[in-house]
Every structure is written in C-alpha cells, then in structure tokens.
Amino acid sequence: MRKVLFIVLFGLVFINLNAQISRTGNSNGLYQLDSTNTTRSVNVKIEGKTTYTDYKVISLKNDTTYIDTTLSIKKEYKHNFIRKDNYDYVAFHNQGQTFNRIVYDFTDNSIFPAMGFNAKQRNYFTLNDVKYYHVPTPTTELMYRKGIEQGQVVDALLTANTSRRFNISTSYKGLRSTGEYRNALSSQRNFRTTFNYSTKNKRYFVRGHLYNFYFSNQENGGLTDESIEYFETNDSNYIQRSRLEVNFTDAESVFEGKRYYLDQNYALFSNRIPKKQKSKLPLVKPIKLDSIQMDSLQRASQINIAKNIQKDSTSITAVTTAVVDSLAIQAIKKDSAVIAKELKPYLDFKLGNTLMYETKHHRFFQDDDNSYFGDAFVDEISDHSSFQQFNGQLYAQLNSAYIGSLKVKANYFNYNYHYNGILYYDDYTVSDKIKGNAVSFGADWYKKFGNIHLNADASTIVLGNITGNTIKSSVMYKNDTLFNVKGYVEFTSKTPDFNKQLFQSGYENYNWENNFKNEVITSIGGAFNSEKWVTLQGDYNIIDNYTYFNEDGTPAQTTETLTYFKIKLIKAINFRKFTLDNTVTYQDVTDGDSFFRVPKWVTRNTLYYSTYMFKGKPLYMQTGVTFRYFSKFKMNAYNPLIGEFTLQNTYDVGDYPVFDFFVNLQVSRLRMFFKLENFSASFTGRNYYSAPTYPYRDLTFRLGVVWNFFI
C-alpha cells in the first residue's frame, strides 16, 4: 500500500513540475504569495484580473482572510484531522479519538449552558469555525492524510460565486482509522454547506449554513494493569500492539447532530448606499469651468469633451488624459480635492436577526455490562442523551464614524436536554429532562481611534429558568507593520453544562441530578504580538463554584476558589535558511490544585530548514525536527461512558520528550507532508501516555496532501 501511495505522489509531483513551470523565462510571480496565478494552458475568460486577495474567507465576525496556498510551519502544525494547532492538547494514539487538554483558556464564555460531553467535541464545528467565502472563480481544496494502521482522512471544499453577490460552498470531511490497539476504530463524518448573498445596493445581506456531523469511536477503556507493564518494559512479545489486553472490546460511543443557522440584516439608512442618478458615477460631482479654462480647452481642440463634463461625470477621465493645457489640469485637481473634502462621514443603521436550531445526541453502547464502571441495572448498556436548542437574536446596529459600531441585541434561548424516562431507584429519583427558556438583553461596541481599538460586550439574562451575565472589554494598540498590544478583562456568571446537572445510565453509579450554583469566572489578560520580535501572552483566572468530574466520574462543585495563570512566549529565530520556532508556556494553579491540575511547563520547539530547489525554483521544501514536552503531573483520566475527562490521583503522566521528523514540499498549489512521528520512542523509554492507561502512538510514518484548484 505504501509503495502504491509513493508512486502516486511521485506521479503528482512529476505532473506538476511539467505542467506548472513557466517556460517563457518570465515567472510572473508564480511562486510568490499570489499562488493563484498559473501558466497552465486553461483558457477561461473572466472579467478583469484576479489576485490571491480576491479569494476571500469570511468569519462569523466578518473578519476577512484569504485562501492561503503557501507552505509555512503553521501549516505543518495544522496538518491533522481537525486542521487546528493542537499545542494546548495531547492527542490520543489514533486520529479521530479525543484530546486531553494541558493548557486551558477561560475566555469568550457564553451565558447559556452547553450540553457537555466535552471530550467528544474537539472535531465539532462551532459557529465560529464555519467559514464563508467570496471567490471570483470556482475554487476547490482537497486534503488527504494517512490513518493509523489502516484508513485515511479526506477533507474536500468546493466554493463558487454564481454572481458577485451570491456565493455557495460545500465541505465534507470523512475519517476512518483503525488504530494500533484493539477496539480503537474511529469513523467520523463532517458536512457543511454555506451561502451568503447581498443585494446590488448592499442594503440587504443574508448568510447561513447547514452542519451535519457523526463521530463514532470504539472504546477500549485503556490498557489493563498487566498490559501496561508489557508496554512500559517493551516486551518483545507485544511489539504488535493489538496483542495487548484492553479493559473492554465491545463498547462504542457516538456523538452526532445537525445545526441550521441564518443571519440577515437590512440597512434602513446608509449614506454609503449610492442614490439613483442619471450619471454612471453619481458620487462624483460635475466640475464647472470658468471662461479662461474653457478657452484653454478649446485651444487644445477638446471643445466636445469640455461640454460633456457638465453632462456626464465620466468625461472627467477623458479630459484629464486628453487635455494638454496645464491650467485646465490644475483646475481639475483643485476641484477634485474640494469634492473629496465634502464627502460625508459614513453613517448607517441596520436591523437584523440570527436564527440557530441545533440537535445533539450522545450515545454509549456496550454488549455486556463491565465491572470497570461498577454494577449495572441491565446486561446490555444503551445510554442516550439528547439535546435540542433554539437561539434567536434580534439586533439593531448603528455604524458611525463618530461613535463606531454599536449593536443592541435581544436573545431568546430555548433548550431541552432529556432522556427517555424518569429513573426511580431505591431512595432517589432522577428526572428525565431539563427544559426551559431564557431571554437576555445586551449590547456590544467597537470603536477605532487611530491605532487604538476599543471593544466592549455585555449581556444579562432577564427572564427564564436560568440566570447568567457577562461583561467583556478590551483595548488594543495596533501598529500594522510591527506589533500590537492588547489588554482585556472578562466577567461571566453561567450555569454549568447540562450533563453535570443531569445524567442517566444503565450503570448504577452514573445517575445523578444536581442543582449547582452558577460558575463565576473572572479573566484578566494581555498580549504583545510581533512576528518580527516576540509574542508574549498571559492571563490570570479566578473561578468560583468550579464544577468538574471527580475520581468516581461524577460531577462535583467546589467551594474553594480556583486561581490559575499562564504565560506563553512565542519566538522564531532565523539564521539564513534555518529557523528555530519556539513556543513555551509556564502555568500554575495557586489555589485549587486538589481538583484542577496542569503541567508547569509545556514547550514545542521546531528546528527546520527551508529552501527552493531546482532551476527556476519550482519546488519549495521545509524539513526539520519538532520537539514536544510537558512536565509530569496527575493528568486527567478519560471516561468514555460520559465522554468527559475526570480527576485521578493514581498516575503521574508527562516528563517525556516526543520528537517528530518531517519533510514538507510545495509545487505551485500542491503541498505534501511527510512525517515520522515519535521517532525517539525507541531510546526515550515507553512511558508516553495521552491519558492514564492510554498510550500515545509509537513510531509512525504519516503522509498527507493539500491541493488547491482555481480556474
């Protein structure tokens, strides 16, 4: 199989080298950042000239980036099945499994509670993860990545504009990977389709998406105590990892659901919307010429053009290029400056609304009950948690050059977290659902004063079955070319996740109904970001009524205040064609380390070499070694029954280095990734774990491709 893949990839490289090298002697910037240009003999006529900046990617907050086809070390970090940088996490051995968190972030909190089952949601696309597009020509991106043992990941995107104002996109990511250990198969599907549209006069705008996901994982509960000994001593009889015993071989968890989202707004007033006039360019006023200027124009044999200036403003361009009389040209420039000064500052007022409906289901199946989770009510386990939510928002937004952007909003949140029936057992009863609604009001504001950016956001629940509020504010000084400095503070009071409040299972010990207090989170932080110098980020978090899963796998709420801080440093050191990319984090829990644990140090350091190869620079290469490490601590354990990480006091995990060797290649818009993961396993010891009893992957060869297509 590997030989076949190698032959296919070699063929792709050969095809690209022959098809995309400019043979005219003029590179036309083919291998510059504008990688959408190409010398391929595809004849497609489009209006005007396109560059890479025309291929836009738009976020939920309307931040715009571009489809980037370059090769960088950041692409190396993101070349995984979730296509995100996993610096804050430790991946399990098989792709498609969960991730154990080692660096935490308590910012950007919602006042509405979530379903929970957080160990299953790393590959889940939130509203912020879904992107919208605007492209001048149909665009495709394909990603392939080899699975563990058997299987692969394929992620495909197709987007096109049917007109300048309407775009549609479809994305599908499929994953299947068997893994090296028994009962570790991952099978997942992620489907997204989006659209966005605006009217010709820009008064009405609408966008939306449909998202459907299905994450299935076989669950083995980790290695048995005997198998852990065989693994750590590297017993030659168990080099083939499928021979190691696991805690169970008949369990499976499924996390699935779908979401519908719509966002639309209408500008009731805007002085940026041009009014209908007879002239083709209504924003430009006709220029009046005095008699001296008119005589000059006549002497220049431009009498007809001069007469048309007062009738049609489009003649101005013809005049400025045809008139040779210097006096007339100076007059035109002077009047144009006056017109520019008379332009009014922007002002618009919009009404809009967003609608979101989502369903989620978490299921756990086991053919026979297992003492690993304690006693059971039934022999065959079939747990099912369901969640439906509707979130509708009405807002009014005023955009002004004087006050910035001010949005006033009202939200209606309806939720239904439920099970099939009420559980009656001995001396306690567990209800079947948490159902209710909430109404919140709030506002957010953004204003830019020169290089200073101010932002504030506040919301509070005023009606309903739950309570909560949040206040967020930030200030940033941004120097576009060198650096930016940011400071922020956030206060949030929110209801804990629903699965911490209510849970039902076929296992006796996993049934509860709690009435927890709101978690109160205070985060204060700042950052200095500079690609030229250094990036330094830090935050300090104070959390009251922190809820977590204890050693028994059941939720608990502490009365002790949790205080946690971290400092992250990012610095790249360049020497000729060599680069040392460093990310180092120091963190500490000053209060609350009995229920909240993190490693003191987390670091990732990559030394790599970059160069163009061959005559004409058709091939760009990056090759190097990545070193990852985190200090030893009592890492949280994974509980597949509840889809969460739980507290444990038995195992110390960490203090082991992981080295990865990689070679990444780029030929035009084709990027290839080759990697030896954890090649240091044979000489650093077999004590590498992603969670207690769950070993990290051994020495593994991986390859992948990302390919962009543009017309």
Helix (H) / strand (E) containing 625: strand 619-630
Q: What is the mean pLDDT of residues 634-661?
A: 97
User: So what's the pLDDT on residue 275?
Assistant: 61
Choice between 30 and 209, residue whose per-residue pLDDT is larger: 209
CB contact at 8 A, 543 and 562: yes
Cα 203 to Cα 267: distance, rounded to the nearest angstrom: 5
pLDDT category, 549, cuts 50, 70, 90?
very high
Cα 177 to Cα 255: distance, rounded to the nearest angstrom: 17
In this structure, what DSSP letter does residue 466 have? S
Q: Which of 563, 558, 561 is nearest to 590 (CA)?
A: 563
Residue 203 belongs to some domain of the structure: no
User: So what's the pLDDT on residue 597?
Assistant: 97
User: So what's the pLDDT on residue 600?
Assistant: 98
Q: Which of 632, 640, 517, 701 is nearest to 248 (CA)?
A: 640
Helix (H) / strand (E) containing 663: strand 658-667
Q: How many CB atoms lie within 10 A of CB 314?
A: 13
Residue 277 sits at the vertex; the CA angle it makes with 271 and 279, to the nearest 5 degrees, is 120
Given a cut of 90, is residue 543 above it in pLDDT?
Answer: yes
Final residue in a domain of this structure, among 326, 342, 358: 342
305-309, 446-450, 472-476, 491-495: least confidently modelled range: 305-309
Tell me the backbone φ, ψ of residue 96, rounded to 5 degrees.
Answer: 95, -15
pTM here?
A: 0.84
Given a cut of 60, is residue 1 above it in pLDDT?
Answer: no
User: Residues 384-399: pLDDT tens digits?
Assistant: 999 999 999 999 999 9
Q: Which of 468, 396, 469, 394 is nearest to 436 (CA)?
A: 468
pLDDT category, 28, cuts 50, 70, 90?
very low
State both tokens at 12.
């792709």
User: So what's the pLDDT on residue 45?
Assistant: 61
State both tokens at 508.
């006796």
User: Residues 240-261: pLDDT tens digits?
Assistant: 999 999 999 999 999 999 999 9
150-154, 324-328, 429-433: least confidently modelled range: 324-328
User: So what's the pLDDT on residue 682?
Assistant: 83
Structural domains of the chain, count: 2
Residue 181 belongs to some domain of the structure: no
Q: Which of 244, 368, 362 is nearest to 694 (CA)?
A: 244
User: Residues 64-79: pLDDT tens digits?
Assistant: 999 999 999 999 999 9
pLDDT category, 346, cuts 50, 70, 90?
confident
Residue 171 belongs to some domain of the structure: no
CB contact at 8 A, 608 and 74: no
The reply to whether 488 and 405 lie within a common domain is: yes
Final residue in a domain of this structure, among 293, 309, 342: 342
The reply to whether 263 and 277 lie within a common domain is: no
Q: How many CB atoms lie within 10 A of CB 481?
A: 6
State both tokens at 13.
């490289």
Q: What is the mean pLDDT of residues 619-637?
A: 97
Which residue do the tokens 């026979």 mark? 368
Residue 122 belongs to some domain of the structure: yes
User: So what's the pLDDT on residue 344?
Assistant: 62
Decide: helix, strand or coil at residue 318: helix
Contacts of 436 (CB under 8 A, 6+ apart): 414, 415, 464, 465, 466
Residue 202 belongs to some domain of the structure: no
The reply to whether 314 and 433 lie within a common domain is: no
The reply to whether 297 and 425 lie within a common domain is: no
User: So what's the pLDDT on residue 46?
Assistant: 62
Cα 302 to Cα 291: distance, rounded to the nearest angstrom: 14
Q: What is the mean pLDDT of residues 274-286?
A: 49
Given a cut of 60, is residue 379 above it in pLDDT?
Answer: yes
The reply to whether 321 and 249 lie within a common domain is: no
3-state SS, one letter per residue, for 176-230:
EECCCCCCCCEEEEEEEEEEEEECCCCCEEEEEEEEEEEEEEEECCCECHHHHHH
pLDDT category, 8, cuts 50, 70, 90?
very low
User: So what's the pLDDT on residue 425?
Assistant: 85
User: Residues 142-157: pLDDT tens digits?
Assistant: 999 999 989 999 999 9
185-189, 214-218, 341-345, 544-548: least confidently modelled range: 341-345
CB contact at 8 A, 174 and 199: no
The reply to whether 599 and 514 lie within a common domain is: yes
Q: Which of 134, 265, 131 is nearest to 202 (CA)?
A: 265
The reply to whether 443 and 412 lie within a common domain is: yes
User: So what's the pLDDT on residue 559?
Assistant: 94
Q: Are strands 689-691 and 670-677 parallel, antiparallel or unpaired?
A: unpaired
CB contact at 8 A, 489 and 106: no
User: So what's the pLDDT on residue 48?
Assistant: 65
Given a cut of 80, is residue 286 above it in pLDDT?
Answer: no
pLDDT category, 583, cuts 50, 70, 90?
very high
Q: What is the mean pLDDT of residues 673-680?
A: 95
Cα 51 to Cα 66: distance, rounded to the nearest angstrom: 10
Which residue do the tokens 């059941």 mark? 554
Helix (H) / strand (E) containing 156: strand 151-163
> DSSP letters along 450-489, please?
TTEEEEEEEEEEEEESS--EEEEEEEEEEETTTEEEEEEE
Phi-psi region of 374 (alpha: psi -120 to 50; beta: other; left: phi over 0): left
Residue 118 belongs to some domain of the structure: yes
Cα 308 to Cα 311: distance, rounded to the nearest angstrom: 5
The reply to whether 255 and 284 lie within a common domain is: no
Given a cut of 70, is residue 298 above it in pLDDT?
Answer: no
Q: What is the mean pLDDT of residues 36-61?
A: 71
227: burial class by Cβ within 10 Å (0-12, 13-18, 19+)? buried
In this structure, what DSSP letter does residue 53 have? G
Instruction: Report the largest interatomic distance among the alpha carbons of the chain, rounded to a whole angstrom.
Output: 107
Q: Which domain holds residue 355?
A: 58-135+231-268+347-710
Residue 140 belongs to some domain of the structure: no
23-32, 209-218, 546-555, 581-590: least confidently modelled range: 23-32
User: So what's the pLDDT on residue 49?
Assistant: 76
User: So what's the pLDDT on residue 103?
Assistant: 98
User: Residues 81-116: pLDDT tens digits?
Assistant: 999 999 999 999 999 999 999 999 999 999 999 999
Tell me the backbone φ, ψ of residue 127, rounded to 5 degrees.
Answer: -60, -35
Which residue do the tokens 């707004």 mark? 265
User: End-to-end alpha-carbon separation of the chain, Å?
Assistant: 33
661: burial class by Cβ within 10 Å (0-12, 13-18, 19+)? middle
User: Residues 124-148: pLDDT tens digits?
Assistant: 999 999 999 999 999 999 999 999 9
Q: Are strands 689-691 and 428-430 parallel, antiparallel or unpaired?
A: unpaired
In this structure, what DSSP letter does residue 275 have? P
Residue 225 belongs to some domain of the structure: no
The reply to whether 263 and 290 lie within a common domain is: no
The reply to whether 333 and 353 lie within a common domain is: no
Cα 420 to Cα 384: distance, rounded to the nearest angstrom: 8
The reply to whether 240 and 281 lie within a common domain is: no
Final residue in a domain of this structure, among 342, 365, 391: 342
Q: How many CB atoms lie within 10 A of CB 533?
A: 11
**Residue 392, domain CATH:** 2.40.170
Q: How many CB atoms lie within 10 A of CB 708?
A: 20
Q: How far is CA 372 from the centre of its chain?
A: 36
The reply to whether 326 and 471 lie within a common domain is: no
pLDDT category, 52, cuts 50, 70, 90?
confident
Decide: helix, strand or coil at residue 18: helix
Radius of gyration of the chain (CA): 30
Mean residue pLDDT across the chain: 87
- Highest mean pLDDT among 167-171, 331-335, 338-342 belongs to 167-171
